[in-house]
Amino acid sequence: MSKELLNKLNERRATVGVIGLGYVGLPLAVEFARSGLTVTGFDLDQPRVDTINSGKSYIPDVPTEIVAALVERGKLSASTDFSHLSNIDAVIICVPTPLRKTKEPDISYILAAAEQVKKYLHSPQIVVLESTTYPGTTNEVVLPMLEETGLKLDEAFFLAFSPERVDPGNKQFQTHNIPKVVGGVSPQSTEVAGALYKTIVNDVHTVSSARVAEAAKLLENTFRSVNIGLVNEISQLCYHLGIDSWEVIAAAATKPFGFMAFYPGPGIGGHCIPLDPHYLSWKARLHGFEARFIGLAEEVNSHMPAHVVHLVQDGLNSQSKAVKGSQVLVIGVAYKRDINDVRESPALAIVDQLMHKGANVTYHDPYVAEMSVDGRGSLKSVEMTDQALKNCDCAVIVTDHSELDYARVLTLAPLVVDTRNVTRKLGLAEYEQKVVRL
């Protein structure tokens, strides 16, 4: 069975199905189609499916012209009908894995996708889970579901885990040039999954098991969370000591060994760093181990929006103004630069807390036309006109989108809270007295 699949992959005759066509799934589907394989994307969202089938992209990192060409050549299509999985050689699951309100893993999307795969599982077929999850999910959850069909691992199907590594907005590292970690629930599964990804990725790194691959993904993002938490705490400490944290970091970064520079920010956002460490700490608790670093980092990072609001309050106080009744313009609400994603964005908490204190809050973001604030309805992006900057009492730079004119912000706004250190690079020293930085 493995030889049949390997031959199909090597000869580019295999068909690939990608379940979940979001920031992970669509770029992956496009890369497989570009490599010569025939790809069907599966999603419950009919507008997404229709958009792809019309040759258009809704993901900024995936150009519409590439999607159009692949659709026209018959290499890429999308569907809400999962029965087409019966004709698919390789199935890749790329669905969300959120947290419950209790901060425990919610793998309901994985279970729903696996149920569809189970319905149409056939021999030979390779199934790969890419959704970030706790170590053991592939072996303990997905494998038993597939074996309920009566088909046997390594005899009829193969199963592996390969963590997604997507960095939206990153122009240097995209799917094809990011090394891919692959771990199967059996050696044969690892071999077949490795061959699958070698059709699109320059470097495939195989590991001994799916559990190792699952844990590796969680380590990657926990590493970032913990280090960001450390530097955010240093930033708060430096503020209380009257020291410029950015200058401290720049000085430490001159050391050519033993130091990696991380930078403070208004908090962490997106679908990975704020969530993934909880999957690891939850699994640890099941085994009687408390992951204290992970919990502490989450505590520090989740406090950063409140620290930003404190900076706004201090800045307004220095000008004999109260937060209540002040006009605050939040600049950038996406969770990172040059994307339109507001999931877990610290801007949401900052806006909510400022409103709670009585501020009149508006925002400008060229990528986010409208956003919802829990319990407060929705806000629409306003134009960042000269008048809007002059009329606000404080401008808060939360997301440093590349296209924004920060010199204009610095010169026109009466007070600037800069959480990204973008105004320092402008060289406008005469305006420094009205800037408050992390």
CA 318 to chain CA mean position, Å: 37
Number of structural domains (the chain) is 2
Rounded-to-integer distance, Cα 115 and Cα 142, Å = 9
What CATH number does the domain containing 68 carry?
3.40.50.720
94 is catalytic: no
Q: Do 198 and 276 belong together in one domain?
A: no
Percentage of the chain with pLDDT > 70? 100
Q: Do 17 and 106 belong together in one domain?
A: yes
Which residue type, as a one-letter code, is found at position 401?
H
Domain-terminating residue out of 208, 241, 258: 208
Rounded-to-integer distance, Cα 298 and Cα 406, Å = 30
Rounded-to-integer distance, Cα 40 and Cα 7, Å = 20
Q: Which helix (H) or strand (E) holds 181?
A: strand 180-184
Give the count of beta carbons closer than 10 Å to the beta carbon of residue 434.
18
Residue 120 belongs to what domain range?
2-208
Q: Do 273 and 169 belong together in one domain?
A: no
Sign of CA dihedral 199, 204, 210, 213: negative
Q: Which helix (H) or strand (E) holds 212?
A: helix 210-241
Q: List pLDDT tens digits, range 275-333.
A: 888 998 999 999 999 989 999 999 999 999 999 999 999 999 999 999 999 999 999 99
pLDDT for the residue 58: 94
Nearest-10 Cα torsion for 253, 256, 259, 265: 30
Higher-confidence position of 435 and 102: 435
Domain membership of residue 336 (yes or no) is yes
Q: Do 202 and 258 belong together in one domain?
A: no
Domain-terminating residue out of 149, 178, 208: 208
Q: Do 188 and 280 belong together in one domain?
A: no
Q: Do 255 and 136 belong together in one domain?
A: no
Q: Do 102 and 167 belong together in one domain?
A: yes
pLDDT for the residue 392: 98
- Residues linked to residue 362 through DSSP beta bridges, in sequence order: 329
The CA-CA-CA angle for residues 340, 342, 348, to 5°, reads 140
Q: Do 127 and 262 belong together in one domain?
A: no
Domain membership of residue 421 (yes or no) is yes
How sure is the predictor about 376, in pLDDT bands with cuts at 50, 70 and 90? confident
Set 94, 272, 392, 394: catalytic member: 272
What are residue 154's phi and psi, to 5 degrees? 70, -15
Domain membership of residue 214 (yes or no) is no
Rounded-to-integer distance, Cα 315 and Cα 415, Å = 7
Q: Do 269 and 175 belong together in one domain?
A: no
Q: List pLDDT tens digits, range 41-89.
A: 999 999 999 999 999 999 988 999 999 999 999 999 999 999 999 999 9
| Owner of token pair 């792809």 | 52
- Who's near 386: CB < 8 A, 6+ residues apart? 408, 412
Rounded-to-integer distance, Cα 360 and Cα 357, Å = 9
How sure is the predictor about 168, in pLDDT bands with cuts at 50, 70 and 90? confident
